[in-house]
Structure 1
Amino acid sequence: MSSHDLNVGSVLPPLDLTRRGFIVTSLVSGFAASAGAANTQTAIQTSTEGLTAGEVKIPAAGGQMPAYRAAPAGQHNLPVVLVIQEIFGVHEHIKDVCRRLAKASYLAIAPELFARQGDPSAYQDIPSLIRELVSQVPDAQVMQDLDATVAWAASQGGNTSRLGITGFCWGGRITWLYAAHNPGVKAGVAWYGRLQGESSALQPHHPIDVVDRLHAPVLGLYGGQDTGIPLESVAAMQTALASGSPAAQASRFVVYQDAPHAFHADYRSSYRKQAAEDGWKQCLAWFDAHLN
């Protein structure tokens, strides 16, 4: 399917979310069991000192969506960064990413985007989690819930005219899609998110299909040893971006040749310290250039 055959507005029509309430009403503590035993020796723990940080509830169609928010205490008019979860939900790693961004003077918010379908912390293995929960989440629902998150950020004094988004794995793919969905996004950073795939009713298009609709440049941080996202997929995306929108043409990739998938996940065996630390520097530099 060519990107020129797609109209994002018609491909993702609004869903009637008022009929689907929230199954999950609060965030989990700790790390996701399905991700495997957490390595507490490498897992980064960012302090809340100097921050306003913790769980919040975001008004959305059909109820209240749980989310994690972190920001420098007492500061207002901050640029806003949406933090999009892995398949494991908003667990401790994603919360810590929010705190890291807050230490860099951003209002960071991670909404639990699976809350309408189920609790990712209830799963013990990845295949079941993907089959029974993650694959049941419509892209259109995610876009609407992120729109609600942006509206909440604005109501809390965040400066949504300086709006960024970053996401990991499942959230990396969503980062590309939301940069095509919301004209207000100024920059995105996608960590090893899927770029191509088969279309379905719930996932009608993928990042490579929307390059002519990107409103903001996206920095892609990918691993050269990622068996799920081969370098051929990255190359195809780079080719597509070159003939996409002006924002698409301003997007770029950094590929860490020796890194696997999830190289930033410091609590997992996939963690690669050098790639993760450089990727984080690249991420902050990208946001600094586009949001400040």
Structure 2
Amino acid sequence: MDNKANQIPQEAFDWYDEYAHGGMDRRTFMKKLGTLVAVGYSMAVLTSALLPNYALAEQVSFNDSDIIASYEEFESPDGHGKGRGYLVTPTIKKANFPVVLVIHENRGLNPYVKDVARRLAKAGFVAFAPDALFPVGGYPGNDDEGRTLQRGLDRGKIQYDFLAAAHFLKKHPLSNGKLGAVGFCFGGYMVNYLAAVESDLLSAGVPFYGTPAAKELRKNIKAPLMVQLGELDARVNKSWPEYEEDLKNNNVDYKMYMYKDAKHGFHNDSTGRYDKENAELAWHRTIAFFAEKLA
């Protein structure tokens, strides 16, 4: 993690987490940051560590010769009618690939999540990253507006859109019929939801710092899960003990990794919350898990 980010008090990251999830408006968030400026912190350092810089979030170029990236639409009759996502396939000629649905945070399909899809394709999977904001024009180019747009959409219809996307990908001509899903924050919740809403839909799920599906749905979970949590993510982690109890009671094949000193969003390499060592370890585990479960 960047040294500047290490110098920022944890409370600033907690404020950002609250702001990013609708518990605080931007004016209040900036006012709270101002209290740190008053005791010697630079506002430029604070905002550069907390707010995303997507120029940093390209580990695999869309021009990489090992992959092909495009957009595909899918039908979503119970959701918003139609959806669209970012499809990335390996260039290698092969009949059937393991397929992975990539689910963004609560702000639409931003450049970081598209890069995650490219990383999966680079590793030999067909990846599909839907944009929940497609019904309102797609990711608008900045996270603040993206959050506002996503908050304005019907959450139930969004869930149906991702369910439709999962079926679309599982049945894709390039698919071997085994579907994995990985998601971050809201996307982590969606992975848990997809595993619970239809028992036979997923063959593997990796929720990064996502809350569980509704309690009454959890009895349906059959897919193996790899749960990735950051030690400093108090908001999400408080839901884990009850969720783990339900997974145990239902004999779900699961693993949970708690990453030491990692914040909520530690895998996102566009912000100061990024923890390179933990993110790379979590991603290595994710790829190995999918390779095992989706083969």
Q: TM-score, normalised by structure 1?
A: 0.74
Match of 1:43 among 57, 61, 64: 57
Cα separation, partners in 2 of 1:145 and 1:190, compared to 1, 3 Å = same
Instruction: State the partner residue of 1:235.
Output: 241
Which string of whole-angstrom CA distances, capped at 9 and with x for unpartnered residues, describes residues 93-121 of structure 1?
11111111111111100111232356552
Amino acid at match of 2:87: R
Q: Displacement of 1:257 after TM fit? A: 2.2
Q: Secondary structure at the match of 1:184?
A: coil
Structure 2 equivalent of residue 187 of structure 1: 204
Secondary structure at the aligned position of 1:259 is classed as coil
Q: Report what 1:146 is aligned to.
A: 162
Is the 8 Å Cα contact of residues 83 and 131 (structure 2) preserved in structure 1? Answer: yes
Normalized per residue, the structure richer in helix is: 2
Between the aligned partners of 2:280 and 2:157, the Cα distance in structure 1 is 32
Cα distance in 2 for partners of 1:129, 1:155 equals: 29
Residue matched to 1:32: none
Q: Counterpart of 2:85?
A: 67
Contact preservation (8 Å) 2:74, 2:165: yes
Residues 91 and 177 (structure 1), Cα distance of their counterparts in 2 relative to 1, 3 Å cut: same
Q: What does residue 166 of structure 1 align with?
A: 182
Larger-Rg structure: 2
Structure 2 counterpart of 1:43, which letter? A
Asked if 1:85 is matched to 2:97, the reply is: no
CA 1:213–1:78 in 2, change beyond 3 Å: closer, same or farther?
Answer: same
Number of residue pairs aligned between Structure 1 and Structure 2: 241
The answer to whether the Cα contact below 8 Å between 2:132 and 2:150 also exists between their aligned partners in 1 is no
CA contact (8 A) 1:186 1:217 kept: yes
Report the AA paired with residue 241 of structure 2.
A
Give the CA RMSD over aligned residues: 2.5
Unaligned runs of 5+ in 2: 1-49
**Pairs within 5 Å for 1:9-20:** none
State the 1:254 CA deviation.
0.3
The letter of the residue matching 1:259 is: A
Q: State the distance in 2 between where 1:84 and 1:184 align.
A: 15
SS in 1 for 2:206: strand
Percent identical across equivalent pairs? 28
Q: Is the 8 A contact 1:153 1:160 kept in 2?
A: no
- CA drift of 1:261 comes to 0.3
Contact 2:108 2:146 in 1 (8 A): no
CA distance in 1, matches of 2:115, 2:146: 22
CA distance in 2, matches of 1:167, 1:89: 12
1:39/1:269 contact within 8 Å kept: no
Cα distance between partner residues in 2 of 1:39 and 1:133:
19
**1:11 equivalent in structure 2:** none
Letter in 2 for 1:242: K
Structure 2 Cα separation of the partners of residues 273 and 112 of structure 1: 26
Alpha-carbon distance in structure 2 between the residues aligned to 1:251 and 1:193? 15
Gaps of 5+ in 1: 1-34, 196-205
Say if 2:289 is the partner of 1:282: no
